[in-house]
Structure 1
Amino acid sequence: MKTWVSVFILLTCLLAPCGVFAQENAADSLGNRNEPIHVVSDRLEADQAGKEVRFLGNVVAKQGEVVIYAQEMRLVYSSESREVEKVVAIGDVRIVQGDRVATGQQGTLFNTEKKMVLTGNPKLFQGENSVSGDEITVYLQEERSTVSSAGGSRVQAIFHPKEESP
């Protein structure tokens, strides 16, 4: 699993679940984190009193080769420091970087706790490999994750062995 440490919390930390199958340096995986961030949505609402910015409708957020798709993306920030406390992607969430894809109905980054929680039929894919459960939690600074299930369902993982070259 990768750790995703970056100045721009929205994109880099939301992508943390995508790296659950491989260990690499975060700087190598994300490229230049100073690249511009391009967010497109049907609507933007900023609420300073509520300390929230919402992108609504067909949200696409892109930085370099990393793309996040969702129906809504909310950024909750501290009024004092203006730092992002929580990022929530809602509705048909898909996070793509190369052959790594994470999907679910909701992805929530808890910045203070440095963890990302993916719910709503979450699945992680890298190439043909996949893992799914009811909730996937990635601990961003600990290089670990948990996949859990509830109510009689079970965690499922499929790993394809690599072919050895002669």
Structure 2
Amino acid sequence: MRKRAAIFVLLFLAAAVTTVLAEERKVPKDEGFGDRPIEITADRLSADSVKNSVTFEGNVIAKQGDVTLSSEHLFAEYARGTGIIEKIIAEGSVRVNQEDKEARAARAVFYNLEQRIVLSGGAYLIQEGNTVKGEAMTIYLRENRSVVTGGEGGRVKAVIQPKGRTGRKERSGQ
């Protein structure tokens, strides 16, 4: 049961990151980025057509639908000709929010062709009071599985709230 709840929290992150992490190119719907427009704001944008990459720097905020990603840097590599995103790297205070769900890490890398996400640098996920913490988290989207590794001491921590609880103290007598 606990394992199932932890996997659910991780799968939320996978869906949120897959939806959000893209640059301002139209990507085919079947590539996992959805068909909603993506709005990205930053202090600076650098595009390099020779290296097929785009970099957003400083107070980066990427929004698609109800999902928001924020970081200090966002770098994307895309395939020549097709424009399909191959890899996206978000660094510096990375946060992904969707409604009551949030993921945080120092760095997030999305490998589109492999459908794999790697969060590193104090990865932390929370949803409705349930949390998972580790030094690194790897999410395999196609396989519906994830691996969380601990930092110092090699420990991973998961807190799973009983059904109906959100991690907040409930008032007695009500």
- TM-score, with normalisation over the residues of structure 1? 0.78
| Secondary structure in 2 matching 1:12 | helix
Q: Note the C-alpha offset of 1:64.
A: 0.9
| Partner in structure 2 of residue 144 of structure 1 | 145
Q: Is the 8 A contact 2:20 2:62 kept in 1?
A: no
The reply on whether 1:162 has 2:163 as its aligned counterpart is yes
Distance 1:76 1:66 in 2: 21
Give the counterpart letter for 2:122 in structure 1.
Answer: N
| Partner in structure 1 of residue 56 of structure 2 | 55
Give the counterpart letter for 1:56 in structure 2.
Answer: E
- CA RMSD in angstroms comes to 2.5
Report Cα offsets for 1:6-64 as digits up to 9, x if no partner.
xxx975164xxxxxxxxxxxxxxxxx932221111001000111221001100000011
Q: Note the C-alpha offset of 1:82.
A: 2.1
Distance 1:162 1:140 in 2: 26
| Partner in structure 1 of residue 105 of structure 2 | 104
Q: Is the 8 A contact 1:117 1:138 kept in 2?
A: yes
| Partner in structure 2 of residue 82 of structure 1 | 83
- TM-score, with normalisation over the residues of structure 2? 0.75
Give the counterpart letter for 1:126 in structure 2.
Answer: Q
Rg bigger for which structure?
A: 2
Which stretch shifts more, 141-150 or 70-79?
A: 141-150
| Partner in structure 2 of residue 40 of structure 1 | 41
Distance 1:150 1:55 in 2: 29
Distance 1:120 1:131 in 2: 14
Q: Is the 8 A contact 2:107 2:119 kept in 1?
A: yes
Quick check: which one's helix share is greater? 2
Distance 2:36 2:80 in 1: 26
- How many residue pairs get aligned? The number is 145
Q: Is the 8 A contact 1:110 1:116 kept in 2?
A: yes
Does the C-alpha gap of structure 1 residues 10 and 44 become closer, same or farther in structure 2, counting only changes over 3 Å?
farther
Unpaired stretches in structure 1, ≥5 consecutive residues: 15-31
